[in-house]
């Protein structure tokens, strides 16, 4: 890993993000981007002071991007700068790109327009005189989930292998894992891997309808309480995270900053935690455990080698418990000695950007020997009784980090990174 | 010993027919599947020609009514194509090790059909218009809308629905990808499946793509971007490489293949169409919907696929081109073929079967690879129809109007998509 770029509700630079994380300063607040006064969900993590006008690339193409893509292009820019890659020396076809996206990104206004036209039948589709109820012609091109990848490729001239994943919350972590495999198989020397997601009201209401979001009305900063007995869901966040993976000899040849090494990747799909179905929950515990074991076997290390686990910890009652059970299953007695934290409490759930964002957090934990805390942890849950690094960051030598991402439908992704020496 | 990935089953659902026989007969007869689409005329869409899958009734193939209810039309096409492929390959699912059974699906991302999730979202959305503000009002949506929405709405719109139902139907528990792309997803899926088999993580896989571009919003958008033909005669509308070409025709369909490790296929005496020999994937990094004029993405992908296949361009006997029939794209593709194949370019027959079936979106890559496989089997090249007047800037042998019988060993399929993603796949007869 030779470059990191992160934009989140905690800030627009890597160090701003890291400082807020270790201080435990929450980025969750009341939603300001649209009027949600009548909605039950009122809080989220919004990226503030992000001005798309300053993005690299042509002004015209910035207009073709939705907010997801804008965040992705910006985070990629940061990661590339961070990696000190001299682009003039590198063949654009030797750089690949793997990106995780949320899904089709239409706004409710656009959905209204499409619905109105599809059902109302008063308008023909091509009647441009009847705006504003007429659709923006490039609409279908702005909602597609692979467009963030395409915009990153176009803006940053990336011509190598490319692949977009779409599995909601795990897609970013999958992109990092698959990019790691691509490098191992020699498909490219460098891979940009990451994810992006924006605070789109149509997802806000979908996630709310599925019962996953905290409906805290008064204190946004303390709303998201992973592993706390009174947890009641997460706060949707937005942001983009990109890591630059580079083949070791390639990185060494150019004296690149080497943050850490990706050493293991596991992905499974089994069981689900959306509903209270006992058999499915048991299957999910097994699925998560199998995923972590796959990554550990892949990395050829022992479970005890892991110093820090950046957990999914999405603060929904079932998922945190299932995750804790799976950790106990894999680590046995060592589970209670393992430092665990969920940084979602501080930055919100970045959904498809959460995987790469948490890989970056793990990398910085290795760099500085500091484990960021799980904030808002007040009431220990007897069923979740591990060391979640409550409220205050902890200084500790960190060699190996496990980053775990769990999807809503049974998808699990585990990534292992190690201090480079 | 080196592991080899071979195609053993084919499933086609296209505007030319359902199943490989129907499709192949139409293809070599040079018949167009493009028509006026009745279901679009009824909706007041002004662009109404397209390639619709005819006589398709999901319930003839999919027995579970809940599956039909919880998925959209494009997903139905995918499920049926997978069924046809598994049947064609004669796979006995219960004899396959589920952990070594993979599934690789390319999807257009499609969570919307004729508007996002209509009709589930329609009522709540329409109730949320504010007369005084003159626009859609999220506050009204919060009060009048959210509570009335079908709770399983999210499930219907997931972009990995086809993957989910296919893996459920065949108890697939092995390696998988659900790749989102505009048009190259099907070929990316097949390329990745072949890699997984070669690398030993998978013995057998279902791979392919599906899409329906016959949606009012998509037609509207493509038309406004001047990508669609204005030709009113459906059968003559799509004219790849012809000087009078003026744009794409949009269609719908699905193509799925069963890919197996060679010895796995031989052990069960499976029919073998071809070996997937090479795969190349690149990005032209040029513009969202204008092709790179020199075809740089295509040439990178072409070179990579030849290197992966360990063959020279001279070994290629037929290219199934992307050939979407816009002036710029056909020229760029021709330039890339000339650049990579050099003096051989003029000798290699190149045809665009989109002239007959239109653009199948994310299914195109998979369907066109299947056409390459059928061409190998039959030693017959399907033509580019509606090719009357050559474009001096596209000077290759485009197999005009008549299918051509010739011995084929190795064929290549080129695809590119909006946003500049490009793929090439090379397949070869197994001797």
Q: What is the pLDDT of residues A299-312, one digit of tens each?
A: 999 999 999 999 99
Q: What is the pLDDT of residues B272-302, one digit of tens each?
A: 999 999 999 999 999 988 999 999 999 999 9
Kindly report the nearest CA distance between residue B44 and chain A, in angstroms.
6
Q: Which residues of B touch A58 (CB under 8 A)?
A: none
**Among residues 296-325 of chain A, which lie with CB inside 8 Å of chain B?**
none
Kindly report the nearest CA distance between residue B206 and chain A, in angstroms.
17
Bridge partners for A402 per DSSP: A309, A416
**CB nearest to A92's CB, from B114, B157, B285:** B285
Residue pair A7/A15 in contact by the 8 Å Cβ criterion: no
Asked if B221 lies within 8 A of A101 by C-beta distance, the reply is no
Give domain B5-113+157-428's CATH architecture.
3-Layer(aba) Sandwich (3.40)
A39 touches chain B (CB under 8 A): yes
Kindly report the nearest CA distance between residue A198 and chain B, in angstroms.
17
Mean pLDDT of A394-402: 97
A100 touches chain B (CB under 8 A): no
Mean pLDDT of A328-355: 97
* Exposed/middle/buried for residue B308 (C-beta within 10 Å: 0-12, 13-18, 19+): buried
Residue A380, pLDDT above cutoff 90: yes
Q: Which residues of B touch A157 (CB under 8 A)?
A: 285
**CB nearest to A159's CB, from B289, B296, B419:** B296
Asked if B154 lies within 8 A of A163 by C-beta distance, the reply is no
Which residues are within 8 A (CB) of A342 and not within 5 positions of it... i.e. 6 or more apart?
Answer: A226, A227, A310, A311, A312, A313, A314, A315, A374, A388
Q: Measured in whole angstroms, how far is the alpha carbon of residue A219 from the centre of its chain?
A: 24
Which residues are within 8 A (CB) of A269 and not within 5 positions of it... i.e. 6 or more apart?
Answer: A287, A407, A409, A410, A411, A412, B176
Rounded-to-integer distance, Cα A240 and Cα B311, Å:
41
Q: Could you state, in order of their start, the residue ranges of all structural domains in chain B? A: 5-113+157-428, 122-155
Kindly report the nearest CA distance between residue B113 and chain A, in angstroms.
10
More confident residue, B45 or A48: A48
Mean pLDDT of B196-212: 95
Peptide bond connecting A132 to the previous residue in cis, omega within 30 degrees of 0 = yes
Asked if B154 lies within 8 A of A61 by C-beta distance, the reply is no
Mean pLDDT of B38-66: 86
Rounded-to-integer distance, Cα A340 and Cα A372, Å:
9
Nearest CA in chain B to A144: B109
The token duo for B126 is 């329409």
Q: Is A368 helix (H, G, I), strand (E, B) or coil?
A: helix
- Choose from A91, A127, A135, A163 for mutation: most chain B CBs within 10 A: A163
Is domain A3-105+145-419 annotated with CATH 3.40.50.2300? Answer: no
Q: Cα separations (Å) of B70 from A108, A311, B154?
A: 22, 32, 10
The token duo for B49 is 């020609």
Mean pLDDT of A55-68: 87
Residue A131, pLDDT above cutoff 60: no
Asked if B300 lies within 8 A of A159 by C-beta distance, the reply is yes
A67 touches chain B (CB under 8 A): no
Q: Could you state, in order of their start, the residue ranges of all structural domains in chain A? A: 3-105+145-419, 110-139
* In A222-353, alpha helices (H): 248-253, 278-299, 317-331, 344-347
Asked if A38 lies within 8 A of B181 by C-beta distance, the reply is no
Q: What is the pLDDT of residue A132?
A: 42
Kindly report the nearest CA distance between residue A203 and chain B, in angstroms.
9
* Exposed/middle/buried for residue A254 (C-beta within 10 Å: 0-12, 13-18, 19+): middle
A392 touches chain B (CB under 8 A): no
Q: Which residues of A touch B339 (CB under 8 A)?
A: none
The token duo for A198 is 């924006």
Q: Which residue has the tokens 């390329």?
A: B191
Q: Evaluate the CA torsion angle A200, A204, A206, A212 in order and state its sign.
A: positive
Rounded-to-integer distance, Cα A169 and Cα A195, Å:
10
What number is the ipTM of this complex?
Answer: 0.87
Confidence class for position A127, pLDDT limits 50, 70, 90? very low
Kindly report the nearest CA distance between residue B214 and chain A, in angstroms.
12
Q: What is the pLDDT of residue A206?
A: 84
Kindly report the nearest CA distance between residue B271 and chain A, in angstroms.
30
Residue pair B365/B253 in contact by the 8 Å Cβ criterion: no
Torsion region of A131: left, alpha or beta (phi above 0 gives left; psi -120 to 50 gives alpha): beta
Confidence class for position A325, pLDDT limits 50, 70, 90? very high
The token duo for B74 is 């494009």
A291 touches chain B (CB under 8 A): no
Query: What global pTM score does this model have?
Result: 0.91
Residue A114, pLDDT above cutoff 80: no
Rounded-to-integer distance, Cα B308 and Cα B289, Å:
28
Residue B17, pLDDT above cutoff 90: yes
Q: What is the pLDDT of residues A200-222, one digit of tens each?
A: 998 898 888 888 999 999 999 99
Q: Which residues of B touch A124 (CB under 8 A)?
A: 44-46
* Least confident stretch, A203-217, A258-272, B151-165, B286-300: B151-165
Query: H/E element holding A120?
Result: helix A108-120
pLDDT, chain A, mean = 91
Residue A368, pLDDT above cutoff 70: yes
Q: What is the pLDDT of residues B83-100, one digit of tens each?
A: 999 999 999 999 999 989
Confidence class for position B119, pLDDT limits 50, 70, 90? low
Residue pair A103/A168 in contact by the 8 Å Cβ criterion: yes
**CB nearest to A35's CB, from B108, B138, B224:** B138
Residue A337, number of CB atoms within 10 A of its CB: 11
């Amino acid at each position: 890993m030779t470059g990191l770029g992160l934009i989140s509700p905690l800030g627009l630079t890597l160090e701003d993000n890291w400082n807020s994380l270790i201080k435990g300063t929450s980025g969750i607040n009341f939603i300001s981007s649209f009027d949600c006064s009548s909605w039950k969900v009122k809080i989220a993590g919004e990226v503030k002071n992000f001005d798309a006008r300053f993005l690299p690339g042509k002004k015209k193409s910035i207009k073709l991007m939705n907010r997801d893509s804008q965040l992705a292009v910006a985070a990629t820019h940061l990661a590339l700068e961070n990696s000190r890659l001299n682009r003039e020396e590198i063949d654009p076809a030797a750089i690949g790109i793997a990106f995780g996206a949320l899904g089709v990104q239409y706004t409710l206004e656009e959905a209204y327009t499409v619905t109105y036209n599809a059902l109302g039948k008063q308008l023909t589709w091509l009647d441009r005189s009847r705006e504003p109820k007429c659709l923006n012609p490039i609409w279908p091109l702005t909602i597609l989930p692979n467009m963030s990848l395409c915009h990153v490729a176009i803006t940053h001239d990336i011509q190598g292998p490319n692949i977009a994943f779409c599995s909601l919350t795990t897609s970013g972590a999958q992109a990092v894992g698959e990019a790691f495999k691509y490098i191992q198989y020699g498909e490219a020397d460098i891979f940009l891997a990451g994810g992006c997601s924006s605070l789109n009201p149509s997802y806000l209401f979908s996630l709310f309808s599925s019962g996953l979001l905290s409906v805290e009305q008064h204190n946004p900063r303390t709303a998201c309480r992973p592993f706390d007995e009174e947890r009641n869901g997460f706060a949707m966040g937005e942001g983009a995270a990109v890591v630059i993976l580079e083949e070791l000899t390639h990185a060494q040849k150019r004296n690149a900053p080497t943050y850490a090494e990706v050493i293991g990747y596991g992905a499974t799909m089994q069981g689900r935690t959306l509903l209270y179905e006992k058999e499915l929950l048991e299957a999910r515990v097994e699925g998560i455990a199998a995923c972590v074991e796959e990554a550990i076997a892949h990395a050829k290390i022992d479970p005890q080698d892991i110093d820090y686990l950046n957990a999914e910890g999405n603060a929904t009652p079932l998922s945190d418990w299932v995750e804790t059970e799976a950790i106990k299953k894999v680590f046995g007695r060592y589970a209670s000695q393992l430092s665990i934290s969920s940084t979602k409490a501080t930055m919100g759930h970045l959904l498809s950007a959460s995987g790469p964002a948490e890989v970056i957090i793990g990398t910085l934990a290795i760099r500085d020997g500091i484990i960021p805390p799980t904030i808002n942890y007040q009431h220990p849950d007897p069923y979740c009784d591990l060391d979640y690094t409550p409220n205050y960051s902890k200084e500790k030598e960190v060699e190996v980090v496990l980053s775990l991402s769990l999807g809503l439908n049974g998808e699990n992704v585990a990534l292992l990174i190690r201090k480079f020496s | 010993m080196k592991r080899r990935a071979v195609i053993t089953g084919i499933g086609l659902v296209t505007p030319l027919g359902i199943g490989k026989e129907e499709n192949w007969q139409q293809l070599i007869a040079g018949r167009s599947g493009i028509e006026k689409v009745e279901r679009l005329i009824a909706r007041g869409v002004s662009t109404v020609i397209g390639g619709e899958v005819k006589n398709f009734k999901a319930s003839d193939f999919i027995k579970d009514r809940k599956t039909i209810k919880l998925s959209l039309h494009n997903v139905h096409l995918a499920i049926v194509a997978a069924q046809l492929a598994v049947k064609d390959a004669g796979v006995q699912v219960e004899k396959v090790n589920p952990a070594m059974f993979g599934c690789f699906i390319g999807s257009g991302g499609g969570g919307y059909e004729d508007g996002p999730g209509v009709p589930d979202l329609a009522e709540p959305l329409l109730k949320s218009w504010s007369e005084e503000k003159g626009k859609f009002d999220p506050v009204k949506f919060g009060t009048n809308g959210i509570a009335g929405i079908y709770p399983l709405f999210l499930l219907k719109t997931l972009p990995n629905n086809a993957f989910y139902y296919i893996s459920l139907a065949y108890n697939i528990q092995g390696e998988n990808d659900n790749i989102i792309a505009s048009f190259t997803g099907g070929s990316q899926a097949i390329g990745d499946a072949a890699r997984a088999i070669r690398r030993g993580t998978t013995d057998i896989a279902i791979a392919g793509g599906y899409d329906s571009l016959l949606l009012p919003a998509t037609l509207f958008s493509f038309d406004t971007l001047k990508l669609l033909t204005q030709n009113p005669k459906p059968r003559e509308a799509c004219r790849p490489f012809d000087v009078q070409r003026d744009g794409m025709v949009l269609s719908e369909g699905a193509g799925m293949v069963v890919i197996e490790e060679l010895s796995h296929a031989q052990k069960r005496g499976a029919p073998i169409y071809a070996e997937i020999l090479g795969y190349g994937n690149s990005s032209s990094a040029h513009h969202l919907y204008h092709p790179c004029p020199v075809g740089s993405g295509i040439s990178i992908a072409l070179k990579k696929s030849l290197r992966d296949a360990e063959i020279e361009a001279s070994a290629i006997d037929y290219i199934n081109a992307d050939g979407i029939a816009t002036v710029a794209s056909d020229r760029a593709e021709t330039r890339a073929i000339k650049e990579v194949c050099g003096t051989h370019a003029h000798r290699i027959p190149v045809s665009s079967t989109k002239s007959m079936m239109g653009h199948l979106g994310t299914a195109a890559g998979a369907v066109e690879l299947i056409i390459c496989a059928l061409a190998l089997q039959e030693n017959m090249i399907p033509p580019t129809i509606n090719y009357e007047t050559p474009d001096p800037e596209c000077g290759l042998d485009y197999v005009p109007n008549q299918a051509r019988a010739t011995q084929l060993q190795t064929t290549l399929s080129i695809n590119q998509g909006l946003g500049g993603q490009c793929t090439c796949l090379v397949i070869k007869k197994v001797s």
